Structure 1
Amino acid sequence: MPEPRLPVIALTVGEPAGIGPEISLRAAWSLRHEVRPVLIGDAAYLAMLANEIDPAIRLMAVSIEAVRNYGLSAIPADRMSVIDCPLSAHVVAGQLDPRNGRAVLHTLDVAIETVEQGWCDAVVTAPLQKSTINDAGVKFSGHTEYFAEKTHTPQVVMMLACEANAHLPQALRVALATTHLPLKDVPQAIQPEHLLRTIQIINIDLRDKFGLLQPRILVAGLNPHAGENGYLGTEEINVITPVIQQAQSMGVNVSGPYPADTLFQQKYLADADCVLAMYHDQGLAVLKHASFGLGVNITLGLPLIRTSVDHGTALDLAAKGVGHADIRSMQVAIRTAAVMAKNKTSS
């Protein structure tokens, strides 16, 4: 009987001066019997780093042109493939160099191509430094926005998730109605059409990529005490509640709005599949307190699967040399992408 096919995961290694290349190598190697990782980055640099981490790590470099012509089937099972995206400047750990900005951005283009062409099943991204790409002369606001633009996706949703741990009795998923906005701009950004589409995207992706037949979504209010019947704000009355009712009429299992300060309790979360927070810190402060370094960032609404770690480039750790970075968030990101790929294939 043939061995089951392993999910093929494209893994961009992120900012070369940060911990991205190290955690990508270590996490991918540790999970090589669960997934088939395809690293995307500078092959020579990754080979040097791999030898420093563990001489047992075996890599095989290929060009994107070779992959276009022959695919990835020729890579031996005992090696991890690296699609070579050469850097422009020598890497000094902990020191950013804008000369490498365009090469880092190119790894994202290659990763998107690998999924669109069917060579890989999902993309996992290591952290990159936005400033390096902007300093290279390319306007760049982040992975999420870039993937949306490149895949012609009009609206995506940022969701962070974590597995059960010592601080959390069950898995937790928190999606965001707004992301990286100044707090003063959040109320105006919560518009009925956008909020309804956000709820629909969460519902569809939890069903199709997480295998949940009828996801239960809890929605947080914007204001303290969810507006206190209008005394502390009217967004709940004028926007959030009508949108929830509209989504319910469309068959979505969604409820709220709930006061955010009491929503994150076991009695509410026990049967919930996702919490929709109105703004970044409202939801992510809770999740990161319970799971920082163990979580995964997931972009919902894309035509492809994309996950990432829940932390940044950690230049200070990279400057200390290999062995200081925690790979657990990267491992969770890879495993989550694999599960989503399997669910999407079977749906």
Structure 2
Amino acid sequence: MMTSRVLLYGATGYAGKLIAASAKSNGLELILAGRNQSSLAAAADKLSLDFRVVGLDDPNAIARSIADVKAVLNCAGPFSKTAKPLVDACVQTKTHYLDIAGEVPEFEALAARDTEAKNAGVMLMPGVGFGVVPTDCLAVYLKHQLPTANRLILAYETQGGVSQGTANTVLPNLHVMGVVRKEGQLIPARPAWKSRKIDFGSGVIVAVSNPWRADILTAFHSTGIPNIEVYTVFPTPVRLLMQMSQYLGWLFSSSLFQSALARLIQTLPPGPSAAERARGTTRVIGVVEDESGQKVTAKLEGPEAYDFTALAAVAIMKRIVQGEAQAGFQTPASVYGADLVLEIPGVMRF
């Protein structure tokens, strides 16, 4: 490829705008893209960037729009709908594909295209934001510390608020079954089927098993550890709803409940304010253990989750522009190593 430009799809969404601003300040050559011309024009004008109006209905039009870029970064959820047409075009045009998805099904869909991507010389790397860069890097770091590890527990908490997009991903699906990794296999698991009391550094709080989180797939890909559980600190009302979902699934899946939830989400602000993000933090704990009972623990602390996503995405885009990419389905730490996360301003590992 003769270009160092990256096309940012979904550039007018909350995360897309943050990533675009961060990329611009880091000197990356971006082209903003999406469906809405007026919103794109305003965003592009603000950052003095080029833009392209790209719908996802015409495969040939998508291919034409990305044929001259090094990579596509997809920030437009739901990724279950937007990833496939963009990946189709990336494979056709030999363009690397990135996104900021964070849940198992979207990653499984891309992992299934590994051979196709390798044949095209294209890298498919979902999860270049807070999900899953810090946890993936911590998993690989811990595997290096204890090569005999056969069990991995990851837990994280975020402080600083949520965007409408995140709420739209999580809240309507609180009753949906997920998975856990046991002996290398993905086993069905219900939301919040287990809980743990964890001290991230400010006292003990409750985290519950998160069976949707993509680390269940990526950490296995990156480390080969066969038993993996992921825990998340949710707001108490969300945690309680998750725990009740096994009894109230019929209610959660009803059209009445879902439409009421959709109306509620629409009343939320697009995302945390700059002041809320500045006050926010993220904390991750990882624990590995082997059959003999040896155990190693490590922690990460970093900026607020949306800022983390923007900074992580920029760090990976920089690597790709420099020619650092591996064909096929990849995870951040499997390509760029456990210390990738330490390139992100404000991140500490201990």
TM-score (normalised: structure 2) = 0.38
User: Highest CA radius of gyration, 1 or 2?
Assistant: 1
In proportion to residue count, which structure has more strand?
Answer: 2
TM-score w.r.t. the length of structure 1 is: 0.38
